[in-house]
Amino acid sequence: MAEPSELQMLRDSARRLAADCAPARWSSAGRTGRSDPARWARMIENGWLHAGLDEKLGGFGFGAAEAALIAQEAGRGLLAEPLLANYVALSLLVEAADTELGGQVAEAVREGRQKLAFAYAEPGARFAWEHPAAHVRREGNAAVLDGRKQVVLGVADADLIVTVARDEAGELVVLLVPAAAPGVEVQGFALVDGTGAGDIRFSGVRLQQEALLARGETARAAIERALDHGATLVCAGAVGAMRAAFEMTLDYVKNRVQFGEPIGRNQALQHRLVDLLRLIRESEILLAEAVAAMDGDRVERGLAVSAAKLHINAAARKVGQEAVQMHGAIGTTDEAAISHYFRALTAMGVLFGDAAHHRARFFALDRQLVAQDTRCPS
């Protein structure tokens, strides 16, 4: 299927900018969890934050495919900026908030005036989210939020935090919390791949009525979709990073001479490289299906996303490990680019759900499908 020319332009622009920024994650992004404002400004300039938005919100109108495409190029170039955090938080906000608020925030993000983060994971909860410990209680007209969130991508940069809690009735709620509000404490740090993240403590944070974006089943559906969106973008980044790591490794084995010949002459390595290429091709295929399913039925979407994440987590691990192994000792040092891809692929296998999580989810959805399936073979 041919790519629309707008998407092609975006891809080219993204690849150029990514190449221009590299090497981006060298020696970790530091200890603050904050990203480089100059690079963010260039992404804004290039229109990257229009991606994934509806046309009436200033987007290009290609939906999930756009954001996935940029995430893929960002993965290829190891960009450390909080693109994923903003894509996911913004699309959740736009879906859940009223048109006016959604439009305002979308514009502010597009223009680089505000940054967002999406906080769902809680300490000790791994990937569970349907029963958060964070909670809001009413106090007069205000809602008061308490709780903790951990390893929130881009939170040290964020002006607004989209987060998840339960209310006094035990219902899920989606909340929009200004990062500067009293009672919001953020500890920023770098992740193992050099991207920025942080933990959050909400202590009696007073929120106004409009902070409540969604509640109950609406909230549940919106969060689930946001998590699928996040997982898909991580998959896209991993596909980009795997491709780059693979090409780098292929190049290395063609040039590195040992025992008198390029190590790529070793058939054992050749066959393993074919296995890696196969894993990457399957990843690309499953990613495309996940992206295509993003706007579809909940069960089909979940199956496609969990299938992709499940496969890509394992592929990312394998490609990262094998790329280092084939590089030999140099591959284990910070000065080698491949070690940064390895660290990026390590993180990607965890973000928005590990293999065990997505395997269990795929199975649950698959059983729903089997139970629903009324098409009996003759």
Partner 1 sequence: MPKLSPADQAFVADLRAFIAENLDPDLRAVVAAGGHPTKAQLKAWEHGLATRNWLVYTWSAEHGGPGLTPLQQFLFDQTIAEMHAPSNNGLAIKMAGPVIREFGNPEQKAQHLPGILQGTVNWCQGYSEPGAGSDLAAVATRAEADGNDYIVNGQKIWTSYAHWADWMFMLVRTSQEAKRQSGITFLLVDMRTPGITVRPIVASDGHHGFNEVFFDNVRVPQSNRIGEEGKGWTYAKFLLSNERLGVVSLPGIRHALARAEAAVTRPLADGSRLIDDVDFTNRLVDLKVRLRALEGWVKQSLDELLEGGKPGPEVSMVKIRGTELNQDLAEFTMDALAYDALPYDFEQAASVARDIAPTPDFGTTVTAGYLYRRAFTILGGSTEVQKNIVSKAILGL
Contacts to partner 1 from residues 97-126, by CB under 8 A? 121-126
Among positions 5, 141, 209, 267, the unique one binding a second copy when judged by CB under 8 A: 267
In angstroms, what is the minimal distance from the CB of 122 to partner 1? Answer: 6
User: Which span sits near a second copy by CB under 8 A: 130-138, 224-232, 263-271, 279-287?
Assistant: 263-271
User: Which span sits near a second copy by CB under 8 A: 77-85, 236-244, 267-275, 280-288?
Assistant: 267-275
User: Which span sits near a second copy by CB under 8 A: 71-79, 192-200, 260-268, 282-290?
Assistant: 260-268
In angstroms, what is the minimal distance from the CB of 328 to a second copy? Answer: 16
Cβ(322)–Cβ(274) below 8 Å: no
Work out whether 258 is an interface residue with a second copy (CB under 8 A): no
Work out whether 271 is an interface residue with a second copy (CB under 8 A): yes
Q: How many residues bind a second copy (CB under 8 A)?
A: 5
Distance between CA 341 and CA 244 in Å, rounded?
8
Cβ(117)–Cβ(85) below 8 Å: yes
Among positions 32, 266, 321, 368, the unique one binding a second copy when judged by CB under 8 A: 266
Distance between CA 72 and CA 70 in Å, rounded?
5
Distance between CA 249 and CA 255 in Å, rounded?
10
Work out whether 259 is an interface residue with a second copy (CB under 8 A): no
User: Which span sits near partner 1 by CB under 8 A: 92-100, 101-109, 236-244, 357-365?
Assistant: 357-365
Among positions 151, 205, 219, 236, the unique one binding partner 1 when judged by CB under 8 A: 151
Q: Is 173 helix (H, G, I), strand (E, B) or coil?
A: strand
Q: Which is nearer to a second copy, 34 or 318 (CB)?
A: 318
Residues 6+ apart with CB under 8 A from 6: 60, 62
In angstroms, what is the minimal distance from the CB of 125 to partner 1? Answer: 4
Q: Which is nearer to a second copy, 46 or 321 (CB)?
A: 321
- Cα dihedral sign, 214-218-220-225: negative
Contacts to partner 1 from residues 261-320, by CB under 8 A? 264-271, 273-274, 277-278, 281-282, 285-286, 288-289, 304, 307, 310-311, 317
For 152, 277, 306, 349, 359, the CA distances from 365, given in Å and listed in that order, are 27, 29, 10, 21, 10
Among positions 16, 31, 56, 113, the unique one binding partner 1 when judged by CB under 8 A: 31
> Binding partner of residue 148 among a second copy, partner 1, none, CB under 5 to 8 Å per kind?
partner 1
User: Which span sits near a second copy by CB under 8 A: 132-140, 144-152, 261-269, 345-353?
Assistant: 261-269
Burial of 343 per CB tally in 10 Å (0-12, 13-18, 19+): buried
Distance between CA 50 and CA 252 in Å, rounded?
37
Among positions 90, 127, 161, 162, the unique one binding partner 1 when judged by CB under 8 A: 127
> Binding partner of residue 123 among partner 1, a second copy, none, CB under 5 to 8 Å per kind?
partner 1
For 56, 81, 107, 162, the CA distances from 353, given in Å and listed in that order, are 32, 20, 30, 19
Residues 6+ apart with CB under 8 A from 5: none
Contacts to a second copy from residues 96-155, by CB under 8 A? none
Q: Which residue has the tokens 């756009």?
A: 66
Residues 6+ apart with CB under 8 A from 116: 85, 86, 89, 90, 93, 105, 109, 154, 158, 159, 160, 161, 162
Contacts to partner 1 from residues 32-91, by CB under 8 A? none
Report the interface residues with a second copy, using CB under 8 A: 266-268, 270-271
